[in-house]
Structure 1
Amino acid sequence: MAGTRRFIATVAAGLALWTLPAVEAEAASLIARVDVAAQKMTVSRYGKVLHEWPVSTAAAGYTTPRGEYRPQRIHKMWHSRTYDMAPMPFAVFYDRGWAVHGTSAVSRLGSPASHGCVRLATPNAEIFYTLVRQVGPGNTRIIVQD
């Protein structure tokens, strides 16, 4: 009987550990929703909108991939190896070489102008970068949609 109780307790504990991270990730989620059609990014935490910023996504001839992503890596400063070492401050990479990052081309925000990345005003990119560091990439979702 004691062995059976121990077995049931072990299985129950294992199930709790198995289901807990998904519930925790949803509850602690930081969501950056990029609306390509509207050229804006809305950042929410625990379902509450914290920020809404203009962005620039891919210009004609380039692509900003659509989908739901988790950040893969973050860098306070990155230089593009593809585009002449262009600076990418506060870069949050979410799909291969695509990232949410700061730009000095703020006059272009609100219209498609990038090679595919999601560009923000650099102070806003710093805020987003800091939030991702605080909650962790595993608790962050970047959703890019039309």
Structure 2
Amino acid sequence: MENEQMENGELRRRLWLGIVLILGLLVYVSPVCAQGGATYVVRRGDTLFSVARRHGVSVDALAATNGLSRQAWLYTGQRLTIPGSAAAPAPPAAENVYVVQAGDTLLEIALRHGIPASALAEANGLYWNSWVYAGQRLLLPDPAASPAPPVAPTDDGVYIVQPGDNLFRIGLRHGTTAAALRAANGLSSNTIYVGQRLTLPGGAPNPPAAQPAPAPAPVGYGEKWIDVNLSTQTLTAYEERTPVFSALVSTGTRWYPTVVGTYAIYVKYVSTRMSGPGYNLPNVPYTMYFYRGYGIHGTYWHNNFGVPMSHGCVNMRTSDAQWLYNWAPLGTKVVTHY
């Protein structure tokens, strides 16, 4: 009799244990109704962009509902509340996914697929200069959904500001200068906003044809080199022909132009003093001189990158300059050009 009671007790214990396990699995696998929407459990390779698209909600709404930023990382097993719907998510649509190969960079992948690096980064919850790793799955956004190129000016010589524009670039595109644009539009600074209507000096209706950048100098196997485009105010770091980093910079003004040619980094300072006509700057961070007193360095005294501001040096955000300083050894080739 005693043995029979023990066996019945063991059977009931196992039965309850089985029920608890089954309920736990159901809670984990199925989306549960929550106030404001369903709950989704993050899987490997998910990003805010891909989860939002799968459930038909915006990235902003999904991020706000879960107290995240648009660029937030997700982790496998994380539980996200889907705003506005308690229905189970639809099966994942066939997505255009690229699996990162050894040696790939975000910039190179974007170039290979005809996608702006910024769009590829946003689709995967990354920054445009984020590192990627072999085996990582990247969602490739539809190139047709990428922002359209800047529009031509209207017939009355008015240009409508597009995302990413600044006065310097608009001036280059339309054969004028930032100073002339400021004067023509009564601006007291270089600050402009998307959608703003700018009068082009002289009413020039058509921009001059873009001039192709010169081909980079020949490089050896595995060689690192730096390209500084004075027309676009950008710096790009290369390993052989592969871009691995790019940033907006500020180079020399028309009164203090940056030298043009092919040079090499000959000395590096984590911090140094710089002085000259009208300036005396202590602790200039991550400085790399490539020709006489011309260098690439971090900048703490302005944040107007994309516009010529310097006495000939290449100004960078301090975080960008730090990355470049750690990446570039002495002797790294520096090519400056228009």
Equivalence for 2:289: 93
* 1:118 corresponds to: 314
Deviation digits for residues 51-108 of structure 1 (CA, Å, limit 9, x no counterpart): 1100000123112001111101000001113231344210010000110000124531
Of 32-41 and 59-68, more deviation after overlay is shown by 59-68
Q: Choose which of 80, 92, 102 in structure 1 pairs with 2:298.
A: 102
Does 1:43 find its partner at 2:237? yes
User: Which whole-Å deviations, capped at 9, do the CAs of 1:87-130 have from their partners, x for residues lacking one?
Assistant: 42100100001100001245310000011100110011011100
Q: For 1:120, what is the secondary structure of its paired residue?
A: strand
Choose the corresponding residue for 1:54, options 228, 236, 248: 248
Match in the other structure for 2:61: none
In structure 1, C-alpha distance between the alignment counterparts of 2:253 and 2:319, rounded to whole Å: 22
What amino acid sits opposite 2:305 in the alignment? Answer: L
Equivalent positions of 1:122-141 (< 5 A) are: 122-132=318-328, 136-138=329-331, 140-141=332-333
Q: Secondary structure at the match of 1:124?
A: helix
Tell me which of the two structures has the higher relative contact order, counting C-alpha pairs closer than 8 angstroms and 6 or more residues apart. Answer: 1
- Normalising by structure 1, we get a TM-score of 0.75
* Deviation at residue 31 of structure 1 after TM alignment: 1.2
Give SS of 1:89's match.
Answer: strand
More strand by share: 1
- Shift, 1:137, TM fit: 1.8
How many residue pairs were aligned?
Answer: 119
What does residue 79 of structure 1 align with? 273
Q: For 1:137, give the aligned amino acid.
A: L
Give RMSD over aligned pairs: 1.7
Inter-partner Cα distance in structure 2 for 1:44 and 1:145: 15
Match of 2:223 among 6, 17, 29: 29
Give the match's secondary structure for 1:92: strand
Residue 263 of structure 2: aligned partner: 69
Greater helix fraction, Structure 1 or Structure 2: 1
- What do residues 119-146 of structure 1 show as CA deviations (whole Å, max 9, x unaligned)? 11001101110011xxx323x1110001
Question: Secondary structure at 2:327's aligned position in 1?
Answer: helix
Give the alignment's TM-score, normalised by structure 2.
Answer: 0.34
CA distance in 2, matches of 1:42, 1:106: 21
Unaligned runs of 5+ in 1: 1-22
- Misfit runs of 4+, over 4 Å: none
* Structure 2 portions without partners, runs of 5+: 1-217
1:144 equivalent to 2:333? Answer no
